[in-house]
Copies of this chain bind each other. A is one copy, B any other.
């Protein structure tokens, strides 16, 4: 019996489709990678049903890709040809709210902003804000890619918040891993192994997160600098002073220029840092003053904004500004992360290499964590230019690895960067393959993502 016939035995027809328009939706993510149409899309009812689906898939050697919002940026949710897509975007419930413990158990399909809206009433929040996509990104997707965001410099990435998971492995076994204790030294850390594994080890069906108290207050400021080196040094100095930064974002002058073109902000077109502080009023003042004097020592000047403009509103439009800068152009993206001292060198490298290749590049990111997004603009219609764009992106990643960094700070490897995965991890890749086999002996869970078996 083929996989479709098998699934039809126990899945209602309104939760299983092979309609072309639905397959098209499930065939892509937010990247510019080529879509791949799956065989069918299933909206499973519960973990037990997922377990049964996995067992059927294993028997028929059918690949399974789990999908939430499909807002992945590196192809992690692009399915395999003739594979199945498990769509968990309808799994949006809060399973249990442990308000006194500052913890919550949720289904993986709940959206980041929806969750935080519900937490607000209790004075709580889940901090790893995924940049501009909080209104679509699901918590399941964030766990799968170990997402982070603007507040990760203070609060950490998604992995730091995941306490317990219910998972279904590649053998269909339903399992709870982790516990509700916030600190643990009890055996191997399977939770942090699943977090960031992009659906290749198990399907996540329930997530217990720890939460943070909403800060008593917050304050934002922004500084412009003569050059990238000075801006980068300021970030490093702030860290050295033990300054309690909630966020620090870097935009190079090209991004600022793109923002001016998008919305006529009238900003000085210099590299800048956007800062945010969280805490009680007195602490905010003190931290802001310390940050101000560190920036001033490195030649930083307060960014002058028009009345009513808040720096973070401007930052929010960075990707949009780049996307709309030139019509007919698409974005070739990377998401490198490196030791913070390498920021000036890396920003310089990105621009120098882009100039050499006659390509347009913009760099920005959550630099407090050493994360830099280098967005290259190229035309897909111009095969040579597109190829040069990809080569430039690879060159940036290779330089990052040489400097002790990593291919991906927060987006994952997916299909987009698996060509360079072995360059970063060397012989450890073989161990990763062996670990995958223990969770998924037949390689049916999101096969071909991160690395090939």
Which A residues contact B (CB, under 8 angstroms)?
98, 100-103, 122-124, 145-148, 152, 156-157, 159-160, 164, 169, 173, 175-177, 179-190, 192-193, 195-197, 201, 212-216, 236, 239-244, 278-283, 285-287, 290, 335-342, 366, 369-371, 401, 404-413, 421, 424-429, 431-432, 434-436, 438-439, 450-451
Contact check, B100 vs A341: say whether CB atoms are below 8 A apart: yes
**Nearest CB in chain B to that of A244: its residue:** B279
Per the bound structure, the CA–CA distance linking A216 and B159 in Å amounts to: 29
Per the bound structure, the CA–CA distance linking A39 and B229 in Å amounts to: 57
This protein's copies in its complex: 2
Write out the residue numbers on chain B whose beta carbons fall within 8 Å of the beta carbon of A236: 100-102
Per the bound structure, the CA–CA distance linking A282 and B277 in Å amounts to: 14
6 contacts between A and B (CB under 8 A): A175-B428, A176-B428, A181-B339, A182-B370, A213-B242, A283-B287
Contact of A184 among B287, B339, B409, B428 (CB under 8 A): B409
Contact check, A184 vs B337: say whether CB atoms are below 8 A apart: yes
Contact check, A340 vs B102: say whether CB atoms are below 8 A apart: yes
Contact check, A411 vs B185: say whether CB atoms are below 8 A apart: yes
Q: How far is the CB of A255 from chain B (nearest CB, A)?
A: 20
Contact check, B181 vs A338: say whether CB atoms are below 8 A apart: yes
Contact of A190 among B102, B287, B428, B439 (CB under 8 A): B428
Write out the residue numbers on chain B whose beta carbons fall within 8 Å of the beta carbon of A176: 426, 428
Q: How far is the CB of A338 from chain B (nearest CB, A)?
A: 6
Write out the residue numbers on chain B whose beta carbons fall within 8 Å of the beta carbon of A425: 177, 186-187
Write out the residue numbers on chain B whose beta carbons fall within 8 Å of the beta carbon of A213: 239-243
**Nearest CB in chain B to that of A428: its residue:** B177
**Nearest CB in chain B to that of A405: its residue:** B181
Write out the residue numbers on chain B whose beta carbons fall within 8 Å of the beta carbon of A286: 279-283
**Nearest CB in chain B to that of A371: its residue:** B183
Per the bound structure, the CA–CA distance linking A122 and B245 in Å amounts to: 20
**Most chain B beta carbons < 10 A, residue from A159, A164, A185, A212:** A185
Contact of A186 among B195, B366, B369, B413 (CB under 8 A): B413
Write out the residue numbers on chain B whose beta carbons fall within 8 Å of the beta carbon of A212: 242
Contact of A434 among B290, B339, B438 (CB under 8 A): B438
Q: How far is the CB of A355 from chain B (nearest CB, A)?
A: 26
Q: How far is the CB of A401 from chain B (nearest CB, A)?
A: 8
Write out the residue numbers on chain B whose beta carbons fall within 8 Å of the beta carbon of A421: 186-187
Write out the residue numbers on chain B whose beta carbons fall within 8 Å of the beta carbon of A124: 240
Per the bound structure, the CA–CA distance linking A187 and B282 in Å amounts to: 42
Contact check, A370 vs B183: say whether CB atoms are below 8 A apart: yes
Contact check, A98 vs B341: say whether CB atoms are below 8 A apart: yes
Contact check, A451 vs B187: say whether CB atoms are below 8 A apart: yes
On whether A181 and B241 interact (CB within 8 A), knowing A176-B428, A425-B187, the answer reads: no
Write out the residue numbers on chain B whose beta carbons fall within 8 Å of the beta carbon of A429: 187
Write out the residue numbers on chain B whose beta carbons fall within 8 Å of the beta carbon of A242: 123, 212-216, 278-279
Write out the residue numbers on chain B whose beta carbons fall within 8 Å of the beta carbon of A146: 184-185, 189
Contact check, B188 vs A432: say whether CB atoms are below 8 A apart: yes
Contact check, A183 vs B243: say whether CB atoms are below 8 A apart: no
Q: How far is the CB of A251 from chain B (nearest CB, A)?
A: 19
Write out the residue numbers on chain B whose beta carbons fall within 8 Å of the beta carbon of A123: 240-242
